[in-house]
Amino acid sequence: MKILHTADWHLGTFRSPVKDGVNLRTEDTKRCLDELIRVANEEKPDYSIVSGDIFHVGRLWSDRCCEEIITAIHYIRELAAVSKQVVVMRGTPNHDGSGQFNVLSEMFADVPNVHVVITPQVISFDDVDISLLGCAGYVCIANTITNPLTGHVLFPNEKDGQELWYMPMFQNQIWTWRRLFQSMGGLGGTATTEKTVEKEHFYMFFDFDKKEEAYGNR
């Protein structure tokens, strides 16, 4: 079995040099994704997992949003063409907006080997079960298509027919602070910080037959 894992595409316009009206950082990102597709085409993975933060900004004006969604659709289709199955997970809401993922869900609704995941769940395939955690620390054991998880990603609501499995990570200090800040935001606004250092790790490929890893485009 071969698994290709990729995440943090962060499709969007960053502060960067512009040449002939083209944002060079955006072009760098596309070149990295082109290399990802080249590797996938050579290796023909059984499963390609795109685990979130496909976009950089969750809420955008229409023109820019359309362009970024078209780019995402292009690369997901390329992966689907060379992979047995493709699983696309929504990342953090400030990067992957609900509107963007609603569009992706509609676009790939009739593509049998592409699975767009918005809520935590377990997807069962013929040879493997994939547990997809929308938030570090818990997973919803239920059919979340007919009985979707509700509530904020940091404060999930367990409904009839569902069972939430929590892990120690959910009580990790980082996530405890995030839940606290989310609660404070509901009381009196939110605080924002400017990210000064960014680093993307575009893909990690693991070949179970050869039992080895290969990294690229960090």
CB 48 within 8 A of CB 4: yes
CB 146 within 8 A of CB 167: no
Residue owning tokens 């933060």:
53
pLDDT at position 192:
43
156: how many CB neighbours lie within 10 A of its CB? Answer: 21
DSSP lists the bridge partners of residue 4 as: 48, 205
Residue owning tokens 């409904």:
159
pLDDT at position 135:
53
pLDDT at position 218:
40
CB 27 within 8 A of CB 67: no
Which residues, including other chains, have CB under 8 Å from residue 83's CB and lie 6 or more apart?
A: 4, 40, 44, 45, 46, 47, 48, 113
pLDDT at position 61:
54
Range 132-143 burial, b when 16+ CB lie within 10 A, else e: bbbbebbbbbbe
pLDDT at position 180:
84
Please state, in angstroms and rounded to a whole number, the distance separating the CA atoms of residues 25 and 42. 26
Which of 122, 157, 159 minimizes the C-alpha distance to 139? Answer: 122
Which residues, including other chains, have CB under 8 Å from residue 181's CB and lie 6 or more apart?
A: 190, 191
pTM: 0.62
Rg (CA), the chain: 18
pLDDT at position 146:
79
pLDDT at position 197:
40
Low-confidence stretches of the chain (pLDDT beneath 50):
189-206, 213-218
pLDDT at position 75:
96
Please state, in angstroms and rounded to a whole number, the distance separating the CA atoms of residues 164 and 155. 11
